[in-house]
Amino acid sequence: MAPPPRPNNSMELAETTTQSGKDQTRYHAQVDRRRKNRQGIIENPLAYLTDEELQHDVNIFWNNCLSAVNWDDLLRAARVAQNARSYDEVARSEDPRAGYHLPVQLSDEEKVALKAEKDVLFSQRGMFTVILTVSLAAFLQGFVQSSINGASLYATEFGLPNVTSTRVNFTTIADENSRPQLDDWKLGATNASPFFFAAFVGCWLSLPLNDRIGRRGAMAVAACLIFASSLGSAWCSSWRELLLVRIVNGIGMGVKACSTPILAAETAVGFWRGSFILAWQLWVAFGIMVGFAFNLIFYTAHNDRLSLQLILGAPFVPSIFLMIGLWFCPESPRYYMRQRTSSYNPQKAYDVLLKLRKTKLQALRDTYLVYKSVQLEEYSDDSNVGSPGDDVPRGFVAHVKNYASQYKELFAQRRLRNALISSSIVALAQQLCGINMLAFYSGTLFSGVLGGGNGPLMPMVYSLGIGAVNFVFGLPAIRTIDTLGRRKWLVLTLPVMCLLMMAAALSSLITNQTTRAGIIALFVFLFAAAYSPGMGPIPFTLASESFPLSHREAGCAFAIMINLLFAGLIQMFFPSIYASLHDGGSLALFAGLNLLAFVLVFLFVEETKRRSLEDLDLVFAVRKRDFVRHQVSRYLPWFFRRYALGRAEDKPSLYVDLIWNGPRTQSHFIWGDEEVTEERRGGGEGGGGGGGVSMGDDWNGFASNSGQAYGGEENVSPSSLRRPSGLVIPDYTARISEDSDDSAHR
């Protein structure tokens, strides 16, 4: 098929969707629904384009953005994108004639690739470079944390001789000598300084850095800062010098903690995005474990000053490897798809995706889908719908205003506010659970449990054990974070973590010191095992995936700022808390906070598994109070009837999936000279329907009250959707998608 002639007029929003006023109204309704999704409908962004309109839109995109590729290839990819489920079924069918009525005939290679991207975790071989780079960045983060932990046992070497937990005669008996001392506060401030500056400077700095030089560039800046600060800290002789050097370290940590998960999220296939972002937490845990191992090795120097220098300076080595890895790592393709920025370049995005995906079809499909989703996203504000203009900021003042506006909109727009609430709650819950009390002060904790006279060796051994457990038990989350889901992992593990932490607290009542230390260590290890597949990887996963492309850096920075701020507060106050409450009271405090974290997660956090980053716009557009009401009034009663009374009832669903799920009905259409029976599943094949085709009476309870176009706040049926370009296969359903059976509230 030859492409239509290139138009001379500029690309207008109405032209990219439809040419008639009626169709433009429908487009505006679609935009509005993505902002206020009261019905909880998950739909394809291409659901409202007929085949003629799709070709017109593809031609505009091809002329303006991607003219270097073959127009027919781009149109094929757009049709596959519009009808994802139909072509997934064709790829799975064993019938060689499956899909012969569809406008796109898939090659054998494309069928294998489409099936594998949904079923096989590491089917995209081009992603390994990204995974390696993300893993190196995470390893560096964990290594720095264990360095801070190990250095705390040598507080006397940087001028803090009166830290309570490191005294030779320290016991768990409360007396005047075990009360917080000034040196406890100084140690807390020294250890907390990198996290405070990561939260208040590094996270906020990540927005302009990501905007100007990309995710990869921001990570390179962070690696350089950590490299310099690690070398500098090795030569610090006082706590004041160490505090100042760690400020530089903290800025690098904040930039890296925001940029790295975003890079992983934006390059991964949506079906397995969680498993790719999991590399961050998994290798943070591995970095902590290896860091603790090196702390033990450095302890054998039998020279406290030399041991401290080695512990503090060691992170400069992995920072070098990170800089090398970044040289080979591709930039995020979505960085080039932000339409209101100077970096907008779909050709570069396609070139990156061509390296990351197995086939050209997948690369073109993802490029076009992101383009259309971002177009809907960026014109979702009423003041901008239909009049995009040239909004690229120019000049320093304009950029500052743009960044400030992004943070303001996080609180003003429902979709952004809901994502901010969910990601911030999970980020906060990670600190409330107490894991960083162990990551930062396990040496201090076990020094107190064992008695301060035993020296740093055994506390280091126990710390290494925690690091090893944290890494090993993070492995089960690979794949299951995308199949079981983020939310379900959290609601399953948080109650267990609460019970284990309370058991460790009660074990402190045992009088025999050796027995007490062993049992507390056992429960702490079990706690770390429960933490690793759930609360461990999910905060950074949610922070990096919950926000739309236009606000991703700002939203991610805010959520991770919450995480790092409370990490800093724990670093700051735990020495004093521990001096007052000792091991039993400290552990009991975090047991209660685990219970609070469980309640917050259950009530407020949505499921995001197996959705594209752009589909999550519709998940977070549902009102938060509707989500909470559903959890309390529908899900809890169902849970009680199902598991307490044993009644076999269908699980209530808050969301209606028009992409991969929905009721199937029969209809007919004309393709060429043939009449074909079409078996549909609620518009799931790209969300299309209508065009005179009745959807039957088995729609999920939504009925159109006004007969108007599907949109806004009305209850409507998918019969008002128009027929998409690709239609559906007659009846070659090899497998109905199981991924959407668990709707996003579960």
- pLDDT for the residue 305: 87
pLDDT of residue 275: 85
Provide the token pair at 259: 């940029």
pLDDT of the residue at 178? 54
Task: Report the sign of the C-alpha dihedral through residues 655, 660, 663, 666, in that order.
Answer: positive
Single-letter amino acid code for the residue at 174: A
| Residues 85 and 681: beta-carbon distance below 8 Å | yes
Of 194-208, 246-260, 426-440, 624-638, the one with minimum mean pLDDT is 426-440
Least confident of 361-375, 389-403, 593-607: 389-403
Give the per-residue pLDDT at 58.
93
Using an 8 Å Cβ cutoff, are 571 and 195 in contact?
A: yes
Range of weakest confidence among 335-349, 354-368, 659-673: 659-673
Is 304's pLDDT higher than 80?
yes
- Counting Cα atoms < 13 Å in the Cβ hemisphere of 629 gives 7
Question: Where does the pLDDT of residue 733 fall: very low under 50, low under 70, confident under 90, or very high at 90 and above?
Answer: very low
Residue 167 scores a pLDDT above 80: no
Element (H, E) at 405: helix 396-412
Q: 26 falls in which pLDDT band (50, 70, 90)? A: low
Mean pLDDT to the nearest integer, 594-604:
95
Size (the chain), residues = 746
At residue 729, does pLDDT exceed 50?
no
Residues 87/104, Cβ–Cβ less than 8 Å: yes
Residue linked to tokens 């209850």: 715
Average the pLDDT over 532-540 and give the result: 90
Q: Start-end ranges of CATH 1.20.1250.20 in the chain?
A: 125-344+392-615
d(CA 714, CA 39): 8
Q: Is residue 573's pLDDT more than 70?
A: yes
**CA–CA distances in Å: residue 659 to residues 40, 186, 667, 698, 719:** 13, 56, 18, 17, 15
Q: Is the pLDDT of residue 727 over 60?
A: no
Contact partners, residue 212, CB within 8 Å, separation at least 6: none
pLDDT over 60 at 248, yes or no: yes
Secondary structure (3-state) at 243: helix
CA distance 621 to 745: 13
Whether residue 327 has pLDDT greater than 50: yes
**pLDDT > 90? residue 595:** yes
- Structural tokens at position 405: 């506006």
Full-model pTM: 0.80
pLDDT of residue 670: 36
DSSP code for 127:
G
Retrieve residue 495's tokens. Answer: 């109650």
Tell me the C-alpha distance between 559 and 155, whole Å.
32
The residues facing 76 across adjacent strands are none
Amino acid 513: pLDDT = 75
pLDDT digits (tens, 9 = 90+) for 449-487: 665 555 567 777 777 787 788 888 888 888 888 889 899
Q: What is the pLDDT of residue 745?
A: 43
Q: How many other CB atoms are there within 10 angstroms of residue 698's CB atom? A: 11
Top-confidence residue, 510 or 69:
69
The 10 Å CB-count burial string (b at 16+, else e) for 625-635 is eebeebbeeeb
CA-CA distance, 342 to 352, in Å (whole number)?
A: 18
Q: Distance between CA 499 and CA 655 in Å, rounded?
A: 33
Higher pLDDT, 21 or 394: 394
Q: Has residue 2 got a pLDDT over 70?
A: no
Q: What is the mean pLDDT of residues 149-155?
A: 81
Question: Of residues 24 and 562, which shows the higher confidence score?
Answer: 562
Average pLDDT over residues 117-133: 86
| Tokens 């996290």, residue located | 195
Count CB neighbours of 154 within 10 A: 21
**pLDDT attached to residue 288:** 84
- Rounded to an integer, the average pLDDT of 577-606 is 88
Q: Cβ distance 679 to 730 under 8 Å?
A: yes
Residue 398: its pLDDT value, please? 86
Give residues with Cβ within 8 angstroms of 438, minimum separation 6. 445, 466, 524, 527, 528
Q: CA Rg, the chain, in Å?
A: 27
Task: For residues 519-548, give the mean pLDDT.
Answer: 90
Query: Where is average pLDDT lowest: 104-108, 277-281, 287-291?
Result: 277-281
Look at 51-60, 280-289, 380-389 and tell me which has the smallest mean pLDDT: 380-389
The per-residue pLDDT for 449 is 60
Q: How far apart are CA 191 and CA 242, in angstroms?
A: 9
- pLDDT, average across residues 137-145: 90
Task: Decide if pLDDT at 438 tops 60.
Answer: yes
| Cα–Cα distances in angstroms (integers) from residue 353 to residues 144, 217, 261, 349, in the given order | 33, 18, 18, 6
Q: Which residue has the higher pLDDT, 540 or 9?
A: 540
**What percentage of the chain reaches a pLDDT higher than 70?**
78
Mean pLDDT taken over the chain: 79
> What is the residue whose two structure tokens read 């969301």?
655
Is 80 exceeded by the pLDDT of residue 242?
yes
Q: Is the pLDDT of residue 695 over 50?
A: no
Q: Find how far residue 564's CA is from the centre of its chain.
A: 16
Asked whether 673 and 660 are in contact (CB, 8 A), the reply is no
Contact residues for 54 (Cβ-Cβ < 8 A; gap 6+):
46, 75, 78, 79, 82, 724, 725
State how far the Cα of 691 lies from the Cα of 139, in Å rounded to an integer. Answer: 54
The confidence score (pLDDT) of residue 166 equals 54
Q: 675 vs 609, which has greater pLDDT?
A: 609
Bridge partners, residue 664, by sequence: 681
Indicate if the pLDDT at residue 116 is higher than 70: yes
pLDDT band, very low/low/confident/very high, at 659 (cuts 50, 70, 90): confident
Instruction: Return the bridge partners of 690, or none.
Output: 693
93 contacts 734 by C-beta, under 8 angstroms: yes
User: What's the distance, Cα to Cα, between the start and end of the chain in Å?
Assistant: 46
The b-or-e profile of 444-474 (16+ CB within 10 A means b, else e) is: bbbbbbbebeeebebbbebbbbbbbbbbebb
Q: Which residue has the tokens 């498993």?
A: 275
Between 384 and 392, the more confident residue is: 392
Reported confidence tier of residue 24, pLDDT bands at 50, 70, 90: low
Distance between CA 570 and CA 625 in Å, rounded? Answer: 31
Architecture of the structural domain at 125-344+392-615: Up-down Bundle (1.20)
